[in-house]
Structure 1
Amino acid sequence: MLKRSSLLLLLAMLLDMTGYAQQTYLFVGSYNDAKEKDGIYVYSMDMQSGQLQPACTFAGMLNPSYLILSHDGQYIYACSETRTAGMGTVSSYAFDSKQQKIRFLSKQGSGGDNPVYLAIDKTGHWLVNGNYTGSSMAIHPLLADGGISPSVTVFYIKDSSITDRQKSAHIHSTVFSPDYKYVFATDLGADKIRRYRFDATADQALREDSFIRATPGSGPRHFTFHPNGQFAYCIEEMAGAISIYRYQDGRLDSLQRILTHDDRPRSYYNSADIHISPDGLFLYASNRGEENNIAIYRIQPDGRLTFVAYQSTLGDHPRNFLIDPTGQFLIVANQISGDVIVFRRNKQTGLLTYTGVRVQMTGPSSLQIKTYTN
């Protein structure tokens, strides 16, 4: 039986023979600190070597720090962190994969100061954004032409927890459940994972439901589900830990809590992003600050984690990373050192090897990847 990699190569050859070609693009959002500077970067990616070649950029938007793509890849949606009270925005762009061009489409207020996360429902009709500053979350209808409509609901949250950073709520991610019946919003400021019920057919679509409490002072940041839909994982920025939950029908039941750092004393912890390999066998978590590494874990059949290794990100402040859909590469955005670095994944061991591919830009902070057939 052919391995998956061989099947993918065979498919690519057949597409080429029939006159179709595939091209993979890497999209990078950034903190450009001035809207006159490039803020969104697109690179074509060679899926054999991991090489990145510039395709296009977009200027004209301040700090498009978090990006997602529409399901078909025709549109880019971005948060804009203005760091000005009441001025946070979400915006949309058309991406032409053949011409390698980005075109601005629309912009709407995010309902807060600094939107930091976006999610789209499976119908492609709704966009949810979380605002770190402003303590809020908003939901917007999406138009067929890629435009964003004004929010129909903004949830303003008044809450807090035990540290100086937690005097108000701070929504840091908004993630749909595998069945798209719920949105889970991690609240770094209140040490809670908030649950909202979602109905794509309703006028308001989203309504408040319940929450679970995280460890006091832990600062829940990013949240992800296992590909099998049975487990959920939350990385805690301030505690440098991952909390693991069994998931069923909107319910999260605690399974394990494991540190993302070694035993050496640290002045603070600054964990950031979390992703699972497409085969569901490994979990990866990034640590910034004094560590600047990726912590690698093997996922056991019961959802619990066992530590494998740490991998340096070869840069400073790995705010965001991704694993490509084939599982071949892990790509890191090091915000402070200003570089995006490509690692090759060993699918058997989970370990990473630097490919030698590194591209430079100002403040890379978000990554997305998509393969197009032209």
Structure 2
Amino acid sequence: MKKIIPLLFCLVALSCQQKTIETTSTMNYQFLVGSYTDGPEEGISLLTFFPDQNSLSLQTIAEGIQNPSFVIEVGNQVFSVEEIEGIVGGNVLSFEWDDNRQSLQQLSTIPTNGNHPCHLSYHDGFLVVSNYSGGNFSIIEVQEDGILALRQIVQHSGNSVNSDRQESAHVHSANFSPDGKFLFVADLGTDKIYSYQFDPEKPEPASLFEEFPMNPGDGPRHLTFSPDGNEAFVVQELTAVLEVFSYNEGKIISKQRLPLTPEGFEGSVGAAEVRVSPDGKHVYASNRGDANTISVFANNADGSYSLVEHVPSGGIMPRNFNLSPDGDFLLVAHQASEDIVVFKRDQTTGKLTPTDLSIEAPKPVYLFSLSN
């Protein structure tokens, strides 16, 4: 009997070792999580999703960042806003990953010169930060060592018909065209999308090309392009509409307006995010307020888009969501219910099926998909 016990111990130890090896090699998806913070122990988080194990994990990778509501990765560097206000506005910060990609080391910080920065985009060494309350956007050059340098500030002015939300300019996002030659800026306050020519060789890279008025009261929020670059999709926050535009050489033309609420819906709305599936066959948009839904639209053979379904988002205030890189899953971040939930996605129909998988997260408001 005394000889059997060591043998059993060895077998158990070997079994544990094999399990550890299998766990570390299991396929996973990772997302940077932007959030609103309540204390110095909070900040930028890393969400890891193991589909085979049906598990989620969340860890803080950069503490003490105030309201990092928008965060992106470029190579080995990570960039985040601090959505705050002050004499020189909010901040943009740069980081690099440690060797194990388990934490972020801060490299640089720079004021945005506009209050409440809420969106970042990147192209060829330049960051563009949208300052919601400031009504402007800032262009920042990223040097090789991650140090940030201000290149240009562009101020918007004007208002629109919604006196509560459109009393002044509110730049909500800025996105580069697929070829990087143009910058499209969505201004919720002026009800316009602005197209700027972008030339990195000029001291001030952005110059106004054209303005595109939206329907009065729309409140354009976020914009994204189709994989082939021929269409642009705009989520209109205040009217809860997904608008489809054709795109060519810095210009957009409206093709279709798709409501994010079913016929007869009564209650408040707040459209938030728009994403396109990797294959370009489906478009997804979130709606907050009393709706709390994700809407799914299909790309038809004739080039039009049609509703597939409105799906309850599984929480309260789905400010942001994202798809896994392979398009198999869709994860939703809920600001008010403070959780992140997982849906399985049918790549043929685009339909979403709720899973029982979710994780608590402090006021999550943005998910950026990392490539493993």
Q: Same fold (TM over 0.5)?
A: yes
User: Which sits farther off after the overlay, 171-180 or 355-364?
Assistant: 355-364
**Aligned-partner Cα distance in 2 for 1:237–1:369:** 23
Which residue does the alignment assign to 2:33? 28
Q: Secondary structure at the match of 1:166?
A: coil
Map 1:1-374; keep pairs closer than 5 Å: 24-34=29-39, 36-48=40-52, 51-70=55-74, 72=75, 74-84=76-86, 86-96=88-98, 98-121=100-123, 123=124, 125-149=125-149, 151-164=150-163, 165-372=165-372
Q: Find the residue that maps to 1:63 and give its secondary structure.
A: coil
Q: Deviations over 1:64-89 (max 9, x none)?
A: 0111111x2x1111111114454311
C-alpha distance in 1 between matches for 2:56 and 2:26: 18
> What CA distance in whole angstroms lies between the structure 2 residues aligned with 1:196 and 1:326?
32
In 2, the alpha carbon distance for the partners of 1:245 and 1:168 equals 25
Partner Cα separation in structure 1 for residue 213 and residue 126 of structure 2: 27
TM normalised by structure 2 equals: 0.89
1:56 CA drift (Å): 4.1
Measure the CA separation in 2 of the matches of 1:360 and 1:235. Answer: 27
Secondary structure of the equivalent of 2:132?
Answer: strand
Change over 3 Å in CA distance of 1:212–1:53 after alignment to 2? same
CA distance in 1, matches of 2:252, 2:298: 21
Amino acid at match of 2:141: P
Native 8 Å contact 2:276 2:282 kept in 1: yes
2:61 alignment partner AA: T
Which protein, 1 or 2, shows the higher relative CO under an 8 Å CA cutoff with sep ≥ 6? 1
Q: Distance in 2 between matches of 1:311 and 1:22?
A: 27
Q: 1:129 to 1:105 in 2, by over 3 A?
A: same
- C-alpha separation in 1, matches of 2:275 and 2:300: 15
Q: Which range moved further: 241-250 or 299-308?
A: 299-308
Specify the structure having the higher radius of gyration (Cα): 2
* TM-score with structure 1 setting the length: 0.88
Unaligned 5+ segments in structure 1 are: 1-15
Change (3 A) 1:367 1:99: closer
For 1:195 and 1:321, the matched residues in 2 are separated by: 26
* AA aligned opposite 1:38: E
Unaligned 5+ runs, structure 2: 1-20
The Cα RMSD (Å) is: 1.9
> Where has structure 1 moved over 3 Å in runs of 4 or more?
20-24, 47-50, 83-86
